Structure 1
Amino acid sequence: MSPLIEENVAFANNVELNVTDLKQHLYCARIPYYFYVMPVPRPVSYKMKHGVVQHLELDRLEKRRGYRSYGLTEGERLFHLQVKSESLGIYGKLDLTIAYQKKGTTHYIPVEFKYTENRIFTNAKYQATAYAMLLEEHFQVPVHEAIIYQIPTKTVHPVKINDGMRKHVKDSLTVIRRMLESESFPEPTSRARCHDCEYRRYCNDIQ
């Protein structure tokens, strides 16, 4: 094995991935490529800026909300909890974590806020699954459910966490690391996803 390949393998194996990298990879595998392999400036869109403002406002309002919409009568809110998994090699900061008691044990539900009126895509569900896996390792308790909260419509979308989803998260992280190792340029995603992508101008094969 050449020194360059050994260096790439070491980098791929040691890099800590953000949960957001997983979500972006499942939407379009080229996004983590542009971030890690061929770093390029990332334009900040109006939608991204507006989403930050909406998150801050929701944080303020969330503190006064009850727990009924989450299927609970009571609990505790943990805002922006930062967690890391040594076994998975990923880290992330959750929008909200709800802690609640059941049969004398504390359980946790990750809640991810989304500023979109579109349907919830599969990549967001696996992002929520990854957060659930981080909480499982951090608190050493199983997490069976996550929640995606659509800000514009105030809609709660429960996501059931199962072993198949956990496996897909692990497999996807492996694929990302293999891409980092080989530095191979991924195939494009569905063209329908390219319209609002901030990286679109870097893809010369996308018209």
Structure 2
Amino acid sequence: MCPVAEDLIPLAVTDLKQYLYCPRIPYFQHVLNVPRPVTYKMKHGTLQHLELDRLEKRRGLRSYGLREGQRMFHLAVTSPGLGLHGILDLVVKYEGKQETRYLPIEFKHQEGPVHTNVKYQLAAYALLLEEAYGTAVHDGVVYQIPGKTVRHVRITDEMRTYVQHTLSAIRNMMRNEAFPDPKTRARCGDCEYRRYCNDIR
């Protein structure tokens, strides 16, 4: 592992995902230290995740494009070099043609195309797995709970670079305590932090 830089503010993968959804969310959490409101949707989602964990242990791996592998639930991974940490919903460890490989899988309560912030969340997890296990991670999976749909996401070098640039942008925002513009106001209606945005009606 790379040594952590002394001035590197530690971040979670969820900070990256939320920043790409709306940069004000990590601003409220880390700059203003506003406690995150717990909504009914979040509580219900936690219960669904627990049930899915139970059912996942009994399912085959064919839908993920694998014949066999070892499931690792809620795997914690950390990179001092990136100043990044996270907990994956599921990682499948399997044998590739020449080396052991790792497939990151995230469970999401959504349907349709995979959201951009979720794609980069997977890319961030890929970086963490690559550093932890010394092997390349080229693919990730989003399991969409409502329709039991498996979406495969290709992890590219451009995505890895974008993740690192975004982590720098988050840290600059935190150091400068700069209040960011919302990503898009179309998302404000469902945001649990909406009441803290005085410029949103």
Q: Normalising by structure 1, report the TM-score.
A: 0.92
Aligned partners of 1:118, 1:158: CA distance in 2, in Å? Answer: 13
Aligned counterpart for 1:167 among listed residues 161, 168, 178: 161
- Give the secondary-structure state (helix, strand or coil) at the position aligned to 2:190: coil
Shift of 1:119: 3.6
- Corresponding residue number in structure 2 for 1:176: 170
Distance 2:82 2:35 in 1: 28
Counterpart among 22, 29, 32 of residue 26 in structure 2: 32
- Residue aligning to 1:185: 179
Give the equivalent residue in structure 2 for 1:66. 60
CA-CA distance at 1:112 after TM superposition: 0.5
Stretches of structure 1 that go unaligned for 5 or more consecutive residues are 1-9
CA distance in 1, matches of 2:63, 2:104: 14
Which consecutive unaligned segments of at least 5 residues does structure 2 have?
Answer: none
Identity level (%): 60
RMSD: 1.3
| Cα distance in 2 for residues equivalent to 1:93 and 1:54 | 17
Question: Is residue 152 of structure 1 aligned with residue 146 of structure 2?
Answer: yes
Distance change in 2, residues 1:14/1:128 (3 Å) = same
Q: 1:4 matched to which residue of 2?
A: none
Residue of structure 2 equivalent to 1:5: none
4+ runs deviating over 4 angstroms: none
Identify the match of residue 19 of structure 1 among 2, 13, 23.
13
Residue 189 of structure 2 aligns to a residue whose secondary structure is coil
Normalising to structure 2: TM-score of the pair?
Answer: 0.95
Q: Match for residue 42 of structure 1?
A: 36
**Which residue in 2 is equivalent to 1:92?**
86
Report how far residue 104 of structure 1 moved.
Answer: 4.4
Rg larger for: 1
